[in-house]
């Protein structure tokens, strides 16, 4: 995720490589990042943050506490901390770092190609100028949506951060259905990928409700009517709703641990 942010910032020319510093415990990874992006890499997190206006926390949740302890006491009041770590509460980060300016974000995997969507929220100690900086930085990953509180971060975790999982499962099922009918996997994949991509772009550009778009292709006694009947009979809508609700409850439970 940190690499996706660095790549996006440089691709969009929001900052130059000399304005980015990273850290990694492994020398081979430090060298790889330096050669690929020209950014300065440190072994130690404390060294990486000394001149930073924005400090991004992007380690796995189980490593976060160690990194926070390492950084404790090394941040100046005006530095902003942005966390992409799933489940890590603003309060926890603020207490561990003894710091008030914290932004919590929830990106998703299409961020790797700059097509993600990131929900974010800020603590009261974050200034308006810092908020616009964060927004610009997160746009390196795709779209951004500011949410009101951390409960909505959990909701975004279930809807958009877990979102690619729902889409990929539907994608896989449709490709398999194509193969079942007799298409080669390659052809089924091409047909499904473009159908999904085209449907999303069409929905976005037409500004129509999905039900209206669906009705446009549903002729009496036709193929869409037959397919819709089977999907409703199989409770596809309810299954998806339950999946999102369960993911939300799981996100809340993980945040309480």
Ligand X SMILES: NC(=O)c1ccc[n+]([C@@H]2O[C@H](COP(=O)([O-])OP(=O)(O)OC[C@H]3O[C@@H](n4cnc5c(N)ncnc54)[C@H](OP(=O)(O)O)[C@@H]3O)[C@@H](O)[C@H]2O)c1
Positions touching ligand X (CB under 6 A) are 1, 23-26, 45, 58-61, 63, 66-67, 84-86, 106-109, 161
Contacts of the segment 5-9: beta carbons below 8 A, 24+ positions apart: 5/56, 5/58, 5/84, 5/111, 5/137, 5/140, 5/141, 6/33, 6/37, 6/39, 7/37, 7/140, 8/111, 8/114, 8/139, 8/140, 8/141, 9/137, 9/140
Q: In angstroms, what is the minimal distance from the CB of 48 to ligand X? A: 8
Q: How far apart are the C-alpha atoms of 257 and 248, rounded to whole Å?
A: 15
Residues 6+ apart with CB under 8 A from 22: 2, 6, 30, 33, 39, 40, 41, 42, 48
Which one, 22 or 178, has the nearer CB to ligand X?
22
Closest to ligand X by CB, 107 or 178: 107
Q: How far is the CB of 235 from ligand X (least distance, A)?
A: 29
- For ligand X, the closer of residues 41 and 188 by Cβ is 41
With CB atoms as reference, the residue minimizing the distance to ligand X is: 86
Tell me the angle at which helices 90-97 and 61-71 cross, rounded to the nearest 10 degrees: 30
Between 60 and 77, whose beta carbon lies closer to ligand X?
Answer: 60
SS3 content of the chain, % helix, strand, coil (to 5): 60, 10, 25
Query: Closer to ligand X at the Cβ: 25 or 234?
Result: 25
Is residue 138 within 8 A of residue 148, CB to CB? The reply is no
Least distance (Å) between residue 88 CB and ligand X? 7
The least CB distance from residue 44 to ligand X, in Å, is 9
Nearest to 132 by CA among 95, 80, 177: 80
Residue closer to ligand X by CB (options 66, 73) is 66
Nearest alpha-carbon partner for 30 in 13, 65, 6, 12:
6
Q: How far is the CB of 125 from ligand X (least distance, A)?
A: 22
> Which pair of structure tokens corresponds to residue 2?
């940190």
Cα 191 to Cα 130: distance, rounded to the nearest angstrom: 44
Least distance from ligand X to the Cβ atom of residue 165, Å = 11
Minimum CB separation from ligand X for residue 123, in Å?
A: 18
Cβ closest to ligand X, residue 123 vs residue 157: 157
């Amino acid at each position: 995720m940190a690499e996706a942010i660095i790549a996006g910032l440089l691709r969009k020319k929001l900052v130059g490589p000399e304005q980015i510093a990273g850290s990694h415990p492994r020398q081979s990874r430090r060298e790889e990042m330096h050669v690929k992006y020209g950014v300065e890499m440190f072994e130690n997190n404390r060294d990486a943050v000394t001149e930073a206006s924005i400090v991004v926390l992007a380690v796995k949740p189980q490593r976060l506490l160690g990194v926070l302890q390492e950084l404790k006491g090394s941040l100046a009041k005006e530095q902003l901390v942005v966390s992409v770590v799933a489940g890590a509460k603003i309060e926890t980060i603020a207490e561990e770092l003894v710091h008030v300016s914290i932004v919590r974000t929830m990106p998703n995997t299409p961020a790797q190609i700059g097509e993600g969507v990131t929900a974010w929220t800020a603590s009261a100690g974050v200034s308006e100028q810092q908020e616009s900086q964060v927004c610009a930085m997160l746009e390196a990953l795709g779209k951004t949506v500011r949410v009101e509180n951390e409960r909505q971060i959990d909701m975004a975790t279930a809807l958009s951060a877990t979102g690619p999982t729902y889409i990929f499962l539907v994608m896989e099922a449709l490709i398999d259905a194509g193969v079942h009918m007799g298409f080669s996997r390659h052809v089924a994949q091409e047909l499904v990928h473009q159908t999904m991509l085209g449907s999303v772009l069409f929905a976005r550009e037409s500004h129509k409700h999905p039900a209206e778009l669906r009705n446009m292709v549903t002729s009496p006694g036709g193929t869409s009517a037959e397919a819709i009947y089977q999907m409703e009979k199989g409770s596809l809508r309810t299954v998806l709703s339950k999946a999102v609700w369960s993911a939300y409850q799981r996100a809340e439970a993980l945040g309480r641990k």
